[in-house]
C-alpha cells in the first residue's frame, strides 16, 4: 500500500500510507508469579484472542496468569492460569463460577 509521491520534477519516491486498522479493544495482560506485569497484547475480537492466548499460555511457566479485559469498559472478561505440568485453568464471565467474580 504505497503511493507515488513526486518530490521534484524528475524524481519520485514511495511513501507508505498511514495504517488505519480496526480498534483493538480486547486487552490481555500477562503477569508472572510475583504478580508483576510482563506483557500486554491487544486484540480486535474475542474469537481471535482466546486461541492465541491459549497458544501463548502453553509456553509460559507455571504460576503465570493472563487476565483478559475490555479496554473501553474496563470490565473483566476472564483469566487463564498456568498450573503445574502445563495444565491451564480458565475462568470467564460466561462460566457459572466466573459470573460471581466481580
Q: Provide the β-strand partners of residue 49.
A: none
Note the pTM of the prediction, 2 decimals.
Answer: 0.73
What one-character-per-residue DSSP string does 8-69 give?
SSS-EEEEEPPP------EEEEEE-TT--EEEEEEES-HHHHHHHHHHHHTTSPTT-EEEEE
61-92 residue pLDDT tens: 999 999 999 999 999 999 999 999 889 999 99
- Which of 24, 101, 26, 38 is CA-nearest to residue 70? 26
Instruction: State the pLDDT at residue 24.
Output: 87
48-66 residue pLDDT tens: 999 999 999 999 999 999 9
Amino acid at each position: 500500500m504505497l503511493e507515488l509521491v513526486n518530490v521534484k520534477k524528475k524524481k519520485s519516491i514511495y511513501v507508505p500510507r498511514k495504517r488505519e486498522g480496526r480498534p483493538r479493544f480486547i486487552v490481555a495482560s500477562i503477569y508472572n508469579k510475583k504478580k508483576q506485569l510482563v506483557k500486554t497484547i491487544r486484540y480486535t475480537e474475542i474469537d481471535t484472542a482466546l486461541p492465541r492466548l491459549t497458544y501463548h499460555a502453553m509456553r509460559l511457566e507455571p504460576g503465570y496468569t493472563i487476565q483478559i479485559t475490555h479496554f473501553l469498559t474496563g470490565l473483566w472478561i476472564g483469566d487463564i492460569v498456568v498450573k503445574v505440568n502445563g495444565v491451564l485453568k480458565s475462568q470467564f464471565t460466561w462460566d457459572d463460577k466466573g459470573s460471581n467474580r466481580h
